[in-house]
A and B are shown apart, each in its own frame.
Chain A
Amino acid sequence: MMTAGLRSLLLAAACSCAMAGAAAAQNLTIAVGAPVTSIDPHYHNLSPNNAMAAHIFDGLADTDSRARLVPGLAESWRTIDDTTWEFRLRRGVTFHNGSDFTAEDVAFTISRAPNVPNSPSGFGIFTRPIAEVQVVDPHTVRIRTRAVYPLLAVDLSNVMILDKETHENATTEDFNSGKVAVGTGPYRFVRFAPGDRIELERNDTYWGGRQPWQRVNYRIIVNEAARTAALLAGDVDLIDQVPTADIARLKQDQRLNVSEVVGLRIIYLALDHSRTDGSPFVSGPNGEALDRNPLKDVRVRRALSIAIDRNAIVSRVMEGAAIPAGQFLPEGTYSHVPGLNPPAFDPDGARRLLAEAGYPNGLRLAIHGPNDRYVNDARIIQAIGSFWTRIGVRTQVEAMPWTTFIARAGRQEFSAFLVGWGSSTGEASSPLRSLVATFNREKGFGASNRGRYSNPELDRLLEQALATVDDEKREKLLQDATRVAMEDVAIIPIHIQKNVWAMKRGLRHDARADELTRAMDVRPGG
């Protein structure tokens, strides 16, 4: 009697569990750490916004989880001559409101993207090289660039295609309210509650095939501990930006899976190259002012680089959520330099190099960095301070909020400072152009070269690469430029972050190198 009752009870429990499981399998709840600021895909060029836009909209091209270019709304493209590209568009694609996707929409999108009012950081950088858009027929577009521009397709993968009929004169507010939040993407927009959540519904007529999730609830939980707690409590199915301190514990949890991939964000130290006569935070071993800037001496820079035990930083500070870096990009990406390894840890060699450079008694130096921007940023600079102090460079460590820090770094106020760079294009021209090319506002070079490093040879190789359409030749030139930068210790690379997600067991996630968190990468089973 007792056992029968118990058995039926268990059976009922098992049934209800299975049913709950089946119902839940239709829906997916994701919690992300960074807020989406708008649904307008051309308003703010920000990773969280771009991740959300990828659900609702499509670009002409797309990138896969390893940041390689794949076809999107354009089935194929080719260059007709050095400055003319032809895109062949996918046929039979419709927007969520039923209107057809045609070449006119591409032309409209390219005219709208750079002209969104009040955009905090716009999409003009991707459309600037374009001189003219020519509609050949409803399914063919020709784009002429102002100069040779090999990255056109890569850049256009960031620009989401809108519908001319629907979105002419549409404002950013119209997107946020849902009035015109229609695209060609795998999910339809349902609701946007800024700072809280975005609700999505499957687009059953998606050209790329039906998604496994009926509804997607895309929640924003900025607080790290709360995000982890929400996953542990079963409130959400997947979280991104797992705090490094929690990774080990979540991996051990039987109810959870962790997915990770080496990302495209390098964490590095920039050094002051802008001054020849002394640097503001560098002084002699007893605090005396120096009449020249030791950081201009490549031996000093190399000493500072090899004094850092990158493996210790990766294993202790990052708890394995990074790989030691010796160049801008991880292995497996376009223009990664094979054989250019992270500098080996060699404190004795560092002391010798310092003595050779004329500083046998060491130096004093202050290192600056943010404390709220990159994963474990303040901890990393403390660890570096400790490594440098041990080779006789007495280091003072100063961590500050990002907004203060980046303003001061941009005014060349620091001598050595920690920053990061995410190569959104997944190839080396992005970091080379922004971080180490000679600062030149007109050319758009060195925009984030806050140490003002300058090397004519590197500039020459880079300009040559940017004018080379042939992928293989360009890769070779980018590799050469990277090698020049690294051998001259233009920057001190520390590590490349891993992007880490955690999810309920029973979900499979294709971790993306570009940090984007998307429902399309999550599948049941696994």
Chain B
Amino acid sequence: MTPPPAEAAIASAGLAPAASREETPLRRFVADFAESKVAVGAFVVFVLIVLCAVFAPWIAPQDPYDLAQLDILDGRMPPGTMGGAGFTYILGTDDQGRDMFSGILYGLRISLMVGAGSAFIAFIVGTALGLLAAYFGGRTDTLIMRLVDLQLSFPSILVALMILAFLGKGILNVVIAIVAVEWAYYARTVRGTALVERRREYIEAAECLALSKPRIVFRHLLPNCLPPLIVILTMQVARAIALEATLSFLGLGVPVTEPSLGLLIANGYEYMLSGRYWISFYPGIALLVTIVVINLVGDQLRDVLNPRLRK
């Protein structure tokens, strides 16, 4: 165990809090990120998707969750058909006469909300537990990390299915299930990073100053563990969106009258063979694009935030 050079420790201890104030690291971060045109493009698409989702009630020609607005006689219309309600179904309708375009916009709302919400909660839970494990070590560490091992040894979809079978359907329960599946990834990552960081001199210095333990953990240790966590967070948002879609596809997620992307795809699945492709196809494309752009942004973040890859 060779201690890292003192300069590095001082630099990282001093830089982290100072960084946001001076803004130069932020500018450098933006410049680094912009190096990849693909990532910038993905980011722009991502922002567009978020805007579509946020403003869905104003963009969508129909409220797909209001049963009174659905006309079953307009069911399974191909894209571009003029409906009874006086607007064109540009992406067609599903079996209930639900406008697919409106359905996708509203579905994106659910997907993004569930994805971002559950990834963020999992981030908080996982990070807190991982830091505790790393800082206190010993029995706490063993207990938390064995729990992580246990969690990671089960296929995540299986765990989520069991939780939903127990809790019942509903968006909130889907979030709980995804958090329960994902927290372990954060815990494991943050523990690894924190174990390295806590042996550094700045932590030792903080301990010598007799600062309180929470203060050391959250003000000194945590900020220095953040970069890899941010990368995982973006990746896990994409994973959470995919998991929500899977659960809804299996009929365990959202209610049938408020379909998310996964349920829209499930609704059209039976019609694939009979040539009415649009019911599954367009929501599938929306889901695909969303997940791909988030992953592209995440990849670039990983490259930018990884000091070893920095030129």
Size category of the binding interface on chain A? 20 to 34
- Of B43-51, B237-245, B249-257, B294-302, the stretch lying at the interface with chain A is B249-257
User: With A317-B72, A390-B68 known to touch, is A245 a contact of B271 (CB < 8 Å)?
Assistant: yes
Residue pair A395, B67 in contact (C-beta under 8 Å): yes
Which residue from chain A places its CB closest to the CB of B270 in the assembled complex? A245
Residue pairs across A and B with CB atoms within 8 Å: the count is 69
What residues on B are CB-neighbors of A378 within 8 Å?
Answer: 256
- Bitwise, A382-403 to B at CB < 8 A (1) or not (0) is 1101111110000111111100
Please give the distance in Å from B67's CB to the nearest CB on chain A. 4
Q: Which among B76, B257, B271, B276 is the interface contact of A316 at CB below 8 angstroms?
A: B76
Interface size on B, residues (CB 8 A): 23
What residues on B are CB-neighbors of A249 within 8 Å?
Answer: 273-275
Q: Which among B67, B76, B255, B270 is the interface contact of A386 at CB below 8 angstroms?
A: B67
- Bitwise, B37-79 to A at CB < 8 A (1) or not (0) is 0000000000000000000000000000011101111011000
Which residue from chain B places its CB closest to the CB of A391 in the assembled complex? B68
Residue pair B256, A316 in contact (C-beta under 8 Å): no
A224 within 8 A of B: yes
Residue pair B67, A385 in contact (C-beta under 8 Å): yes
Identify the interface centre among A228, A245, A246: most chain B CB within 10 Å of its CB: A245
A243 within 8 A of B: yes
Which residue from chain B places its CB closest to the CB of A228 in the assembled complex? B273
Residue pair A245, B256 in contact (C-beta under 8 Å): no
What residues on B are CB-neighbors of A316 within 8 Å?
Answer: 72-73, 75-76, 95, 97
A396–B256 CA distance with the chains assembled, in angstroms: 9
A245–B76 CA distance with the chains assembled, in angstroms: 11
Please give the distance in Å from B127's CB to the nearest CB on chain A. 36
- Bitwise, B259-283 to A at CB < 8 A (1) or not (0) is 0000000000011011110000000
Q: Which among B66, B257, B274, B276 is the interface contact of A382 at CB below 8 angstroms?
A: B257
- Bitwise, A74-106 to B at CB < 8 A (1) or not (0) is 000000000000000000000000000000000
A45 within 8 A of B: no
Which residue from chain A places its CB closest to the CB of B275 in the assembled complex? A249
Residue pair A397, B271 in contact (C-beta under 8 Å): no
Which residue from chain B places its CB closest to the CB of A243 in the assembled complex? B270
Residue pair A389, B68 in contact (C-beta under 8 Å): yes
A312–B97 CA distance with the chains assembled, in angstroms: 12
Residue pair B255, A398 in contact (C-beta under 8 Å): yes
What residues on A are CB-neighbors of B67 within 8 Å?
Answer: 382, 385-386, 388-390, 395, 397
B151 within 8 A of A: no
Please give the distance in Å from A414's CB to the nearest CB on chain B. 15
A387–B67 CA distance with the chains assembled, in angstroms: 8
User: With A243-B270, A245-B274, A248-B274 known to touch, is A397 a contact of B257 (CB < 8 Å)?
Assistant: yes
What residues on B are CB-neighbors of A387 within 8 Å?
Answer: 72
B156 within 8 A of A: no
Please give the distance in Å from B230's CB to the nearest CB on chain A. 39
Which residue from chain A places its CB closest to the CB of B96 in the assembled complex? A382
What residues on B are CB-neighbors of A459 within 8 Å?
Answer: none
Residue pair A245, B273 in contact (C-beta under 8 Å): yes
Interface majority SS (helix, strand, loop, mixed), chain B? loop
Which residue from chain A places its CB closest to the CB of B257 in the assembled complex? A397
Interface majority SS (helix, strand, loop, mixed), chain A? helix
Residue pair A246, B274 in contact (C-beta under 8 Å): yes
A347–B66 CA distance with the chains assembled, in angstroms: 18
Please give the distance in Å from B253's CB to the nearest CB on chain A. 12
Q: Which among A309, A379, A390, A399 is the interface contact of B96 at CB below 8 angstroms?
A: A379
Interface of chain A residues 293 through 313 with chain B (CB within 8 A): 309, 312-313
Residue pair A317, B274 in contact (C-beta under 8 Å): no
Which residue from chain B places its CB closest to the CB of A315 in the assembled complex? B73
What residues on B are CB-neighbors of A309 within 8 Å?
Answer: 72
What residues on B are CB-neighbors of A397 within 8 Å?
Answer: 67, 255-257
Please give the distance in Å from B68's CB to the nearest CB on chain A. 4
A312–B96 CA distance with the chains assembled, in angstroms: 11
Residue pair A383, B96 in contact (C-beta under 8 Å): yes
A398–B66 CA distance with the chains assembled, in angstroms: 15
A225 within 8 A of B: yes
- Bitwise, B104-138 to A at CB < 8 A (1) or not (0) is 00000000000000000000000000000000000
A228–B273 CA distance with the chains assembled, in angstroms: 9
Residue pair B275, A317 in contact (C-beta under 8 Å): no
Please give the distance in Å from B239's CB to the nearest CB on chain A. 26
A382–B276 CA distance with the chains assembled, in angstroms: 20
What residues on A are CB-neighbors of B66 within 8 Å?
Answer: 389
A525–B276 CA distance with the chains assembled, in angstroms: 33
Please give the distance in Å from A363's CB to the nearest CB on chain B. 14
What residues on A are CB-neighbors of B76 within 8 Å?
Answer: 316
A316–B70 CA distance with the chains assembled, in angstroms: 13
A371 within 8 A of B: yes
Q: Which among A224, A245, A386 is the interface contact of B70 at CB below 8 angstroms?
A: A386
A397–B98 CA distance with the chains assembled, in angstroms: 15
Please give the distance in Å from A225's CB to the nearest CB on chain B. 6
Starting from the known contacts A224-B270, A382-B256, 7 additional A-B residue pairs (CB-CB under 8 Å) come to A312-B73, A316-B72, A382-B96, A383-B96, A396-B257, A397-B257, A401-B251
Sample 13 A-B pairs with CB under 8 A, ordered by A number: A225-B270, A246-B274, A249-B275, A312-B72, A316-B73, A316-B95, A317-B95, A371-B256, A386-B71, A386-B97, A397-B255, A398-B255, A399-B256
Q: List residues of chain A with CB under 8 Å of any chain B CB.
A: 224-225, 228, 243, 245-246, 248-249, 309, 312-313, 316-317, 371, 378-379, 382-383, 385-390, 395-401
For the complex of A and B, list the 7 residue pairs with the smallest distance between their C-beta atoms, beginning with the closest.
Answer: A389-B67, A386-B67, A389-B68, A316-B75, A245-B274, A397-B257, A386-B70
